Amino acid sequence: MAPAIQAENLVKTFGDVRALDGVSLDVPEGTVLGLLGPNGAGKTTTVRVLTTLLRPDSGRAVVAGVDVLKHPNQVRSLIGLSGQYAAVDEYLTGFENLQMVGELYQMTARAAKARALELLEWFNLTEAKDRTAKTYSGGMRRRLDLAAALVVRPPVMFLDEPTTGLDPRNRLALWEVIETLVEQGTTLLLTTQYLEEADRLAHDIAVVDHGRVIARGTADQLKAQIGGERIEVVVHRADLVADAVATLSGYALGEPAVERNTRRITVPVSGGARVLADVIRDLDARSIEIDDIGLRRPTLDDVFLTLTGHVAEAADEENGTDATGRGRGGRGTGGTAGDESGPDQDKQAVAAGTEL
C-alpha cells in the first residue's frame, strides 16, 4: 500500500541556513505521524513543502498519490492545513470564514453554506457563528481554523503545532477532535513540541533536528531504543537504603543508582511486572518498609533529550522542554518538588509526570 504522505530527501536552504537537509518520511494511509523537534528543526518547513507552500531545492514529495511539485493544485484539493497561528479572518464571522473557504475549494455556494453550518455545530461554535472572529477566544479561533481545514473532508491533513498556546482544557478538546478524524480514516501529519501530544496522538514519531530525521519509530520503540525499563524504590527510612540496594542488586542488570536525600534507588531490570512483583515480595520478606515503588519506562522526554541533547545549540530547547515537563510533573510528584538535587531531580519529575 502506497503511503499517503511520502517525502524523499527534501532539501531547502534559506541563505546559509540549511532548513531541510535531506528529510525523508512516509506516513501510511490512515495513520498519524508526529513530527517532533525543537524550534527551527525544520518541522514547519517540512509541512510547508508538503502543503505546496514552499518549493524545495531538491527532493520529491507525493501526497495522496499526487506529486506535490508537479501537480500542486491537485494536491491542494486533497489536503487540509491548520497552521501555528489561527489563520482566520478576524473581521469575518465564523460562518463567513468557513463559507469563504468552502467557496474557494470550488464548492457551490449552497454546499459551502451547509458545510459551514455543519462544522460550526461540530466545533461548538454555532452560538458564535455570527460574531466576528475577532471576538473569539484563542481556543475558539483555533477550533475555527481547524474547521476551515476540514471543509472538504480532506483525506490528508497537516496540523502544524495545533495546540501551541492553548490551555489544557482546549488542548484536550482539540485532541478529541483529532482522534475522531483519525478514527474516520484521515491520514495526519502533526508537528508538535509537546511530547505528551505526540505520545497520545501519533502512531509513529519522527524526531527532527537540524533539518534531518534523526530517529523514527513508535513511541515505545523510541523509548526502548534509548534504554529499557527500571525499577524505582523509595524506602521509608534512610537506614534502610543499604539493605534495599543489596536486595535490588539481585535483580539489577546494572549498577543501582541511589539518591540519599530522597531515599530513592533506581535499578535497570528486565522482565516487567513479574520482576516488580518479585522485588516487592522480596523487600517485604526482609521487612524493608517502602514509601513508593514502580516500574518505570523512559518517557518521550528522555528520548527527546537523549537524541537532541548532545547538540549545544539545542540547549535552549532543552530548558524549554524541561520547564514543560516540570510543570506537568509537579502534579504527580509533589513530594519531590522541594528537593534540591540538581538536574537529575528534574528529570525524575519529568519522567513521573508524563508516565502514561
Considering the complex, state which of residue 20 and residue 207 has its C-beta at the smaller distance from other proteins.
20
d(CA 164, CA 190): 12
Give the nearest distance from C-beta 35 to other proteins in angstroms. Answer: 17
**Where do runs of H (alpha helix) occur along the chain?**
43-50, 72-76, 94-104, 109-122, 138-149, 168-183, 195-201, 219-226, 241-249, 273-285, 300-308, 315-332, 343-354
How many residues touch other proteins under the rule CB under 8 A: the total is: 49
Q: Phi and psi of 47, rounded to 5°?
A: -60, -40
Residue 173 CB, nearest distance to other proteins (Å)? 21
**Residue 19 in contact with other proteins, rule: CB under 8 A:** no
Piece of 153-161, 207-215, 276-284, 295-303 that binds other proteins (CB under 8 A): 153-161
Residue 64 C-beta: closest distance to other proteins, Å: 8
Q: Does 255 bind other proteins (CB under 8 A)?
A: no
**Using rule CB under 8 A, residue 164 touches other proteins:** no
- Site residues for other proteins, 300-339, by CB under 8 A, read none
Question: Contacts with other proteins in 63-122 (CB under 8 A)?
Answer: 64, 73-74, 76-79, 81, 83-92, 96, 100-101, 103-108, 111
Q: What is the separation of C-alpha 7 from the centre of its chain, rounded to a whole number of angstroms? A: 20
The C-alpha cell at 325 is: 515537563
49 or 207, CB closer to other proteins? 49
Q: Is the Cβ–Cβ distance between 157 and 181 less than 8 Å?
A: yes
Q: Identify the H or E element spanning 19.
A: strand 17-27
Residues comprising the chain, all counted = 356
Per CB under 8 A, 290 contacts other proteins:
no
CB of 127 to other proteins, least distance (A): 20
> Maximum CA pair distance of the chain?
77
Closer of 100 and 177 to other proteins (Cβ):
100
Q: What is the DSSP-derived secondary structure letter of residue 132? A: B
Sole binder of other proteins in the list 126, 132, 225, 341 (CB under 8 A)? 132
Q: Of 179, 183, 162, 159, nearest to 171 (Cα)?
A: 162
Footprint of other proteins on residues 218-247 (CB under 8 A)? Answer: none
Phi/psi of residue 76, nearest 5 degrees: -60, -30
Range 171-190, binding other proteins (CB under 8 A): 184-187
Residues that bind other proteins (CB under 8 A): 1, 4, 14, 29-30, 48, 51-55, 64, 73-74, 76-79, 81, 83-92, 96, 100-101, 103-108, 111, 132, 148, 152-155, 184-187
